[in-house]
Amino acid sequence: MNIANTLLTQLAKHGISYDIVKHSYSNSSLHAAHSAHIPVTRMVKSVILQDEIGYVMALVPANHYVKINEINMFLNRQMYLATESELNGLFTDCDCGAIPPVGNAYGISTVVDYSLDDCSDVYIEAGNHTELLHISGSAFRKLNEHSHHASICIH
């Protein structure tokens, strides 16, 4: 699969430039970072949570775990991990497990961990298992300008 059309549209809408970083096939953001030889703390991982109200995208560094309880307290909800079949229906232009961190583009509320707020640059999933996009930190913040920010992960 190519770069997700939804991601490309969002990048163009905001005038964001990017570099494509190719890597060997990987099935997680952490493995993609290792394969591409990039810092895992600057690789953004998307974790999709849900409840009866809907979905939330949590964005954290690839080598961190989402603290679902923290998100639940922050949002006053009872979220849990979305299933793979649900993700396939939400992200139809992406390979399963290669979700770009642009929740707004997919109509999904987003919470960004504070640790990503001051990054000078980040790497994001492109929607497939062999490419990442390298963008500036300011571009990442622009893509997620309407997101919530909180302490939602642990190393």
Tens of pLDDT along 52-82?
A: 999 999 999 999 999 999 999 999 999 999 9
User: Domains in the chain, please, with CATH?
Assistant: 5-154 (3.90.960.10)
pTM, rounded to two decimals = 0.95
Mean pLDDT of 80-105: 92
Give me the DSSP letters along the chain: --S-HHHHHHHHHTT---EEEE-S--SSHHHHHHHHT--GGGBEEEEEEE-SS-EEEEEEETT-EE-HHHHHHHHTS--EEPPHHHHHHH-TTS-TT---S-GGGGT-EEEEEGGGTT-SEEEEE-SSSSEEEEEEHHHHHHHTTTSEEE--EE-
Name the pLDDT band for 1 (thresholds 50, 70, 90): low
